Structure formats: C-alpha cells, structure tokens
C-alpha cells in the first residue's frame, strides 16, 4: 500500500506527491512515472514497471550519469550483485554505441530479465555479449584516461558493499551506486569511507552513490 | 563622454543599421558599450539578430534589458528574436511589455501581432494592428497581419477588403500572393493552388508556403505531390501549427524517405499530431510493417491497449523511449513520423481505396458489456452514438463544430437510444438535452480522453454513429463501424475531400456535406432521414 493512501485525508491539497510503500514526499515534481520518462520506458520494456521507486530513481540516475558519454570513452560495468541487473542493462541500453566499448563483469551472475518484445530482446542479447568480457574485479581502476568504471552493489550484503567501496578507491573516472544504502540497518562502511576520504551521498529514494569526476 | 557625443554615436549606429552596414554598427556599439553598457549591448544584439545568430542576439538583448529595463531598443528586438527562435510565448511576453512602453511604434506592433497570431490570439492581434492601417500608404506587414486575423476570425468580408488593398499595392509580393492563396484555400482550393504556385515562383524555397499548399493539394486529391510537400510541416519554420515532434527525439535521425531505411535495422515509427490524425496515418501501418518488420511504434499510453490488440506483434513504446534511439544508431535507423509513411503508400486516391480496410480492434468484452447495459436498461433495439464538436485549434473548432441546438431533427426519433460519445466539457449541452429528450444517454465515470480503450469499445457498441469531424470518426472508421460524418459549410480536414458521399480512407463512412444554400434545419432533416431510416430498416 502506498503511504500516501494512509495519510491523504489529513493533508491539505498537496501539489505533488511521490509515494510508495516506504516513502512519501509531498510538494515535489515527479519525473519518473510520466509517459516521457526514459526510466519508465526502459522498465516497461522488461516488464518491470512494478519495481520500487528506488529502482526507477536508480535507472534515472544512471541515465543522467551516462547521457554525455561519447567516443573515445569506454565504459566498464562491475555488477557485484545479481539484483543490480536492471541498472547494468540500463547502462548498456542508454550508452549504446555512444561509447567506444562497453564491458560488463558480474561475478555473481545476473538475474533473468523478461524482455517484452523483440527490440528489448535485442538489447538483452547485446548486453549478454558485453558480459562475455575478460574483465575481473582486479581491473577496477586500472583503465586508461578514457575508461569510465561503474560499480553497482546492494547494501543487503555488507561484504559486497565493503569490497565495492574498497575497489572504488582506485577508480579515476566513474561512480559506485549502492542500492538500499539508506535502509535502516544497512551497512554504512564508515571506516572504509573515511579512510578513503569518500562521501557516499544517500538519496531520499534510498540508494547511495559517490563519484570520481 | 558627454551625452550629446553619445547621442551622436547612437545616431551613427542607427544609420549603419539602416544601411545594413553591420560591421560598422558593431564597431560603434563597442564604443557605446564603454560609456553605456546596456545601450552598447542592445546595438550588438540587433547586429546579431540581423546576422541571424539568434542565440547570441537573445543573450545580448536580455543582458541589455536586465541592466536597464527602459532599454527600448533591446525590448523591441527581443520580440523578433524569440519569433525567429520559434518561442512565441516569450515573444508575446516581451511584446506585451514593449507595446505598453511604445504603443505607437509600428514595428513593435507588427512583431507583437505576429507573435500573437502564432499563439492564436487573433482578436488581440487585430486590436494591436488596426490603428496602424493607413489606407493611402499601407504597410505590407500590417496588411498581411490584418488579413490573417480576419481570416482566422471568420470575418470573410473584412479579409477580402484587406486583400484587395494588399493586391493593389503589393500584388507581386510573395507574402501577399500566399495570403490570397490561404484566403482561397477553403472556398476555392483550385484557385488557391494556382496562387500558391505563383507565390512559390517568387520564393521557391518558402517552407511555410509549401506546407500550406500541401493541405490544399491533399484536399484536392493530389496526393503524390501533396504528401511530399506535407513533410515541410516537420521543419521549424512552420512551427507548432505544422507537425511538431516530441523533443525527446531530437538528436536522432528523422527519416522521411522510406527508401533510405535499412530493413535489417530497427526503425521507430513516431505517432504525431492529434489522435485522429494518428489513426488516419496508421492505416498504412500493415504495409509498412510488411516492408520493415523491425519497427517499434511510439505512441501515447492511452492508445497502447488498442494498438497492442490490433498489432499484436508490434512493440509499442512510450515517448520516453526517445533517448534509446539516439544512443543506438548502429542498430536503429532513426525515426519516421507516421505522417511521412503516406507518400510511399498513399500517393493516389486509388491507393487509399484499394487499401480501405479495418485495422483497429475494440475490446470485445467491454463492447458486449456496453451493449448489454444500454439495450437492457432502455429496452431499445438500436444504439446511435453522436458527437457534435471537435478540433484542437480554435479555427478548427469553429470549422468543425455543429452546435447541439441544431441537432433536434436527429434526436426527435424516439425509437432510438442516443449515446453521447463527445469528449471534453459537455455539462451545458447535457443540461440542455436532458431538458428536452428522454432518449439520450451519457456514460458517467468514463473519461473519454483518458480511457481511450473504453471510449473505443463504447463507440463500437453503437449500431450507427453520427458525428462531426473528430477523432471519433477516425477510430470508428478504422474499426469498420457505420459512421455518418457531418461536415459544415465552413471547411473540413483534407481527408474528406471536396465532394462525394463516401470516405476514401475508411470502409463505412457516409459523408453529409452541408451546402451554403441549405438551412441548418434542412441539413439535419436530411441527415436524420438518411441515417435513421437506415437504422429503422435494419
């Protein structure tokens, strides 16, 4: 149930509401559920319209981060958690041929995605070829000046977040995105963050990120 | 520098601009800038505007105006700058301010009126231009603005009077020949076409003229050249009265020549214009898919259930998919605005007629439910749907709408149940009809604009439909339903042609054209007789 449904009778005509079953924000413009939202179009292609607001927001953040990528830049995605398949696929679909190369490394594998039509299937097939790369975790941060490293992990696994942040220390260009970082009891890896002089910004939607720009 | 020296420099800059010595004007404006930055920036802005560097002109003029809100040169030139940038809302906003500050300045008034015309504010534009009409020494822009205003306000006599004056003084100018063509477009398309061709002899590359001419060519059934010229509506020179496309597709390749499409790559077909136009254009979709199976259709969410049912194999994506296109040029050809399909598949009347078929399917369960409810509740044998107004633009609304008070001869038939299929605000008409008739039904709780699938099922549940030209006619026509289309004597969309009582685009549309010599009563009595007699006979 959306939180907003529980409280709407007590509110005086809020002008914009963003709500799911965990959060409710009033008087804000929502750019993610509209017909012109690219995140929404992407998730619909894979039958994933019912994901949390956080995932809509993650896909949108990914799009915002990669929309200016052009050759000779190369993109390398390190997907540490299976549950981050949609964001990895979003990088592949939204960067497309605007990068000289896209490689994906998912040490724990990927989740199955439900491509709803032949165009979506084509995007998945291309993503799968990008997965067949020789990348390893040891490659994080070792690329040349044109290399952009993107790390995706999920806060439900503390070891994953720690290793992700630790690896991100070496990254010269790119970002790390941690799903569920703002969730109560999620690991914040304070020591790693402090020792690496990082700051993980936690968004209201729930995910955290830090960038190397 | 003394004030009089500065004034002298300003006069020199004015002179240079008057003689189109732009480099000299720029030099002088540099000097002016040192002593009066706002004035210097204003002159530089005018030079940029003349050099057609509109972004720079906007930047300079805005800064000048911000430094000094009384900088009239900047204020006045911001209007044409925004007109050139096709941002008519801003042009009107600065026009309001400039007009308030300089109400007698003719060029301010002409530019302000031009912006108002683009925003469909015809009465206001007329009010602004009228004081500048000098019958002895008329200004061509004032005259052309007035003709456009009168034409759009259906003030035919006044438009004709102005046109006579314009032809007398400026008969050989492209602008006036085109206005004559526009004025003739609905009442005498053949003569209009001649005028358009004459206008193009003066200015062969004029995009707006070619666009206006395309609508006349299509109305005359000259589909071959008409569809080619129709593609001019995609260009920025025509603006939003043409075929504006979603900004999300900017940066991707727009395809208007189908022969350049690589069938091995994906192609996005983008729905454009009003929902009725979209249905019309989709009449060629099966042929297009046959030639280019790797197609993704981009359409509004509300249209999606109908499209997915009617074209089950076709991916239908929302407008938000635009960025996938520009990012994936190796696997995607680009996008085709669906209006541009037509020139490949509908280049003659015969092409339309031989492909006239059903291509949209309603939700049969919803349709059956509507029939059951309507027939059971009323005990009637037959349902007739009706709609009396249509059009998005003010001018189109005035052309298409046939006020509900005129429909009495239709509703008098007590043996029929009439269902309103009219979308939008209808409360006044509902009240009026409720006070007169017991055989009219309104479907409450179904928003025809949002629930397109429900509306489509409801119209398909009707045995007959009587309607003015609106999206309803296209949907019902594409579903093969029996439609009686009512056309006023003020003009009609090109697809209904100029004569004949059947449609070339849809299988079962009967066209009723009101003649100028006919009274409204005579017209509606005639429609009632033809449409409802058939219902009774059935």
Segment-wise mean pLDDT, segments of 10 residues, chain A, 213 residues? 85 84 87 91 94 94 96 96 96 96 95 93 95 91 95 91 91 96 84 85 94 93
CA dist., res. B16 & res. A119, Å (int): 59
Domain boundary among B293, B325, B354: B354
Q: For residue A60, is it within any domain?
A: yes
Token pair, residue B448, equals: 């025809």
CA triplet B151, B155, B161: central angle to 5 degrees? 85
Sort strands A201-202 and A208-212 into parallel, antiparallel or unpaired.
antiparallel
Token pair, residue B413, equals: 């038939």
Contact yes or no for B266 and A122 at CB 8 A? yes
Lowest-confidence pick of B107-121, B389-403, B479-493: B389-403
Residue B68 and residue B207 share a domain: yes
pLDDT per residue as tens digits for the range B370-425: 999 888 877 777 899 999 887 666 666 777 777 888 888 888 877 789 999 998 88
Nearest chain B alpha carbon to A66 = B327
* pLDDT score recorded for residue B396: 67
Pick from A41, A96, A97: CB nearest B320: A41
Q: For residue A9, is it within any domain?
A: no
Residue B439 and residue B320 share a domain: no
Domain hosting residue B482, numbered range = 364-537
Contact yes or no for B320 and A38 at CB 8 A? yes
Q: How much is the average pLDDT of B481-501?
A: 91
Q: For residue B168, is it within any domain?
A: yes
State the distance between the two ends of chain B, measured CA to CA, in whole angstroms: 92
Q: Which of B317, B329, B333 to mutate to test the interface with A (most CBs of A within 10 A)?
A: B317
Residue B421 and residue B326 share a domain: no
* Range B130-159 burial, b when 16+ CB lie within 10 A, else e: eebeeeeebbebbbbbbbbbbbbbebeeeb
Q: Which of B292, B308, B327 to mutate to test the interface with A (most CBs of A within 10 A)?
A: B327
pLDDT per residue as tens digits for the range B9-20: 889 999 999 998
User: What does chain A come to in residues?
Assistant: 213
Domain total in chain A: 1
Residue B100 and residue B28 share a domain: yes
Residue B16 and residue B98 share a domain: yes
Contact by Cβ (8 Å): B337, B245: yes
3-state secondary structure B82-137: HHHCCCHHHHHHHHHHHHHHCCCCHHHHHHHHHHHHHCCCHHHHHHHHHHHCCCCC
pLDDT per residue as tens digits for the range B278-296: 999 999 999 999 999 999 9
CA dist., res. B36 & res. B13, Å (int): 14
CA torsion angle for A133, A137, A138, A140 (degrees, to 10)?
90
Asked whether the ipTM of the predicted complex exceeds the cut of 0.90, the reply is no
Q: For residue B242, is it within any domain?
A: no
- Tell me which residue of B266, B329, B257 sits closest to B292, measured CA to CA: B266
Domain boundary among B320, B354, B388: B354
Domain hosting residue A125, numbered range = 47-212
Q: Which of A30, A34, A35 to mutate to test the interface with B (most CBs of B within 10 A)?
A: A35
Does residue B247 register a pLDDT over 60? yes
- Residue B68, CA atoms < 13 Å, CB-side half-sphere: 14
CB contacts < 8 A (A, B):
69
Q: Which of A33, A36, A46, A123 to mutate to test the interface with B (most CBs of B within 10 A)?
A: A36
DSSP letter (8 states) at residue A107: T
Residue B389 and residue B330 share a domain: no
List, in order, residues 6 or more apart from A48 with CB less than 8 Å away. Answer: A55, A86, A113, A114
Crossing angle of helices B106-118 and B72-84, in 10° steps, is 30
Q: Enumerate the H helices of chain A as residue ranges.
A: 3-7, 38-45, 53-66, 85-95, 118-131, 158-168, 190-195
Nearest chain A alpha carbon to B319 = A36
Contact by Cβ (8 Å): A180, A155: yes
Does residue B155 register a pLDDT over 80? yes
* pLDDT score recorded for residue B264: 95
The SS3 assignment for A151 reads: strand
* pLDDT score recorded for residue B183: 87
Nearest chain A alpha carbon to B297 = A119
Question: What are the distances in angstroms from CA B255 to CA A163, B174, B261, B269, B333?
Answer: 48, 30, 8, 10, 8
Lowest-confidence pick of B193-202, B243-252, B263-272, B393-402: B393-402
Does residue B537 register a pLDDT over 70? no
Token pair, residue B477, equals: 């026509």
Contact yes or no for B327 and A95 at CB 8 A? yes
Q: For residue B238, is it within any domain?
A: no
Distance from CA of A46 to the nearest CA of B (A): 11
Pick from A39, A98, A118: CB nearest B315: A118
- Residue B125, CA atoms < 13 Å, CB-side half-sphere: 27
Residue B456 and residue B517 share a domain: yes
Residue B531 and residue B464 share a domain: yes
- Residue B337, CA atoms < 13 Å, CB-side half-sphere: 23
* pLDDT score recorded for residue B535: 57
Pick from A35, A63, A116: CB nearest B300: A35
CA dist., res. A36 & res. A137, Å (int): 36
Compute how many other C-beta atoms are within 10 angstroms of the C-beta atom of residue B199: 25
What CATH number should be reported for the domain holding residue A180? Answer: 3.40.50
What CATH number should be reported for the domain holding residue B412? Answer: 3.40.50.2000
CA dist., res. B181 & res. B201, Å (int): 13
* pLDDT score recorded for residue B270: 96
Compute how many other C-beta atoms are within 10 angstroms of the C-beta atom of residue A6: 12
Residue B193 and residue B49 share a domain: yes
Residue A26 contacts B, CB cutoff 8 Å: no
Q: How much is the average pLDDT of B250-270?
A: 93
* pLDDT score recorded for residue A105: 96
CA dist., res. A176 & res. A62, Å (int): 11
Q: Which helix (H) or strand (E) holds A105?
A: strand A101-105
Chain B residue numbers with beta carbons less than 8 Å from the beta carbon of A98 are 327
Q: For residue A95, is it within any domain?
A: yes
Q: For residue B241, is it within any domain?
A: no
> Which residue has 């970002």 as its token pair?
A175
* pTM for this entry: 0.86
Residue B281 and residue B373 share a domain: no
Q: How much is the average pLDDT of B450-458?
A: 96
- Tell me which residue of B38, B47, B43, B34 sits closest to B5, measured CA to CA: B34
Token pair, residue B428, equals: 């006044």
Domain boundary among B321, B354, B387: B354
Residue B336 and residue B216 share a domain: no
Q: For residue A27, is it within any domain?
A: no
Residue B371 and residue B518 share a domain: yes
Pick from A35, A117, A126: CB nearest B315: A117
Question: What are the distances in angstroms from CA B428 to CA B103, B251, B403, B435?
Answer: 40, 46, 11, 11
Pick from A45, A93, A97: CB nearest B317: A45
Contact yes or no for A35 and B330 at CB 8 A? no
Q: How much is the average pLDDT of B209-230?
A: 96
B343-347 contact pairs (CB < 8 A, 24+): B343/B223, B343/B224, B343/B227, B343/B228, B343/B230, B343/B231, B343/B258, B344/B258, B344/B259, B344/B284, B344/B288, B345/B284, B345/B287, B345/B288, B346/B223, B346/B227, B346/B283, B346/B284, B347/B223, B347/B224, B347/B227
Domain total in chain B: 3
Q: Cis link prior to B169 (omega < 30° from 0)? A: no
């Amino acid at each position: 149930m959306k939180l907003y449904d529980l409280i709407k009778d007590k509110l005086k005509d809020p002008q914009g509401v963003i709500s799911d079953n965990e959060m409710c924000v009033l008087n804000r413009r929502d750019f993610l559920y509209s017909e012109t939202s690219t995140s929404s179009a992407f998730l619909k292609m894979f039958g994933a319209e019912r994901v949390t607001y956080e995932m809509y927001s993650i896909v949108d953040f990914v799009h915002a981060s990669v929309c200016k990528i052009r050759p000779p830049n190369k993109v390398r995605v390190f997907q540490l958690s299976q549950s981050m398949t949609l964001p990895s696929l979003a990088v592949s679909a939204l960067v497309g041929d605007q990068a000289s190369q896209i490689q994906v490394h998912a040490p724990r594998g990927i989740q199955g995605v439900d491509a709803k039509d032949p165009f979506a299937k084509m995007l998945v097939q291309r993503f799968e070829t990008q997965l067949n790369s020789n990348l390893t975790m040891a490659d994080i941060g070792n690329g040349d000046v044109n290399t952009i490293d993107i790390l995706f992990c999920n806060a439900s696994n503390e070891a994953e977040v720690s290793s992700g942040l630790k690896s991100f220390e070496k990254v010269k260009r790119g970002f790390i995105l941690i799903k569920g970082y703002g969730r109560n009891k999620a690991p914040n890896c304070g020591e790693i963050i402090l020792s690496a002089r990082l700051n993980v910004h936690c968004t209201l939607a729930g995910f955290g990120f830090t960038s190397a720009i | 520098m003394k004030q009089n020296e500065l004034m002298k420099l300003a006069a020199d800059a004015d002179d240079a601009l008057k003689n189109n010595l732009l480099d000299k004007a720029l030099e002088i404006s540099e000097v002016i800038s040192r002593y009066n930055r706002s004035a210097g920036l204003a002159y530089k802005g005018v030079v940029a505007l003349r050099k057609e560097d509109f972004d720079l002109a906007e930047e300079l003029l805005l800064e000048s105006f911000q430094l000094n809100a009384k900088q009239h040169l900047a204020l006045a030139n911001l209007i044409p700058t925004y007109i050139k940038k096709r941002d008519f809302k801003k042009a009107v906003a600065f026009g309001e301010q400039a007009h308030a500050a300089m109400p007698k300045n003719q060029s301010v008034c002409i530019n302000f009126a031009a912006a108002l015309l683009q925003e469909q504010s015809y009465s206001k534009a007329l009010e602004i231009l009228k004081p500048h009409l000098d019958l002895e020494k008329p200004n061509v822009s004032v005259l052309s603005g007035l003709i456009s205003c009168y034409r759009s306000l259906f003030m035919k006599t006044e438009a004709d009077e102005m046109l006579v004056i314009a032809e007398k003084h400026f008969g050989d100018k492209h602008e006036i020949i085109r206005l004559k063509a526009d004025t003739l477009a609905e009442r005498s398309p053949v003569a209009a076409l001649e005028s358009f061709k004459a206008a193009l002899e003066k200015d062969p590359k004029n995009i707006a003229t070619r666009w206006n001419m395309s609508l006349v060519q299509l109305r005359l059934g000259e589909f071959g050249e008409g569809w080619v010229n129709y593609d001019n509506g995609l260009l920025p020179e025509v603006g939003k009265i043409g075929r504006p496309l979603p900004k999300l597709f900017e940066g991707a390749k727009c395809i208007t020549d189908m022969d350049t499409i690589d069938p091995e790559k994906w192609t996005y077909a983008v729905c454009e214009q009003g929902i009725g136009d979209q249905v019309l254009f989709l009449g060629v979709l099966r042929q297009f898919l046959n030639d280019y199976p790797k197609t993704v259709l981009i359409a509004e969410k509300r249209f999606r259930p109908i499209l997915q049912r009617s074209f089950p194999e076709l991916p239908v994506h929302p407008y938000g998919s635009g960025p996938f296109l520009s990012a994936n040029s190796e696997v995607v050809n680009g996008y085709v605005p669906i209006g541009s399909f037509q020139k490949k598949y509908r280049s003659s009347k015969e092409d339309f007629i031989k492909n006239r078929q059903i291509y949209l399917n309603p939700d049969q369960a919803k349709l059956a439910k509507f029939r059951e409810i309507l027939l059971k509740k009323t005990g009637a044998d037959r349902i007739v749907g009706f709609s009396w107004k249509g059009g998005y633009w003010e001018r189109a609304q005035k052309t298409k709408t046939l006020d509900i008070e005129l429909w009495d001869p239709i509703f008098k038939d007590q043996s029929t149940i009439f269902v309103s299929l009219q979308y939008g605000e209808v409360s006044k008409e509902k009240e009026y009809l409720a006070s007169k008739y017991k055989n009219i039904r309104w479907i409450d709780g179904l928003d025809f604009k949002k629930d397109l699938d429900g509306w489509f099922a409801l119209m398909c549940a009707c045995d007959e439909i009587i309607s003015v030209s609106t999206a309803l006619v296209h949907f019902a026509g594409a579903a093969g339903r029996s439609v009686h289309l009512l056309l006023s004597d003020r003009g009609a969309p090109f697809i209904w042609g100029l004569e004949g009582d059947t449609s070339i685009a849809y299988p079962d549309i009967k066209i009723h054209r009101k003649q100028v010599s006919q009274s409204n009563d005579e017209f509606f009595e005639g429609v009632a007789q033809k449409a409802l007699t058939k219902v009774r006979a059935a």
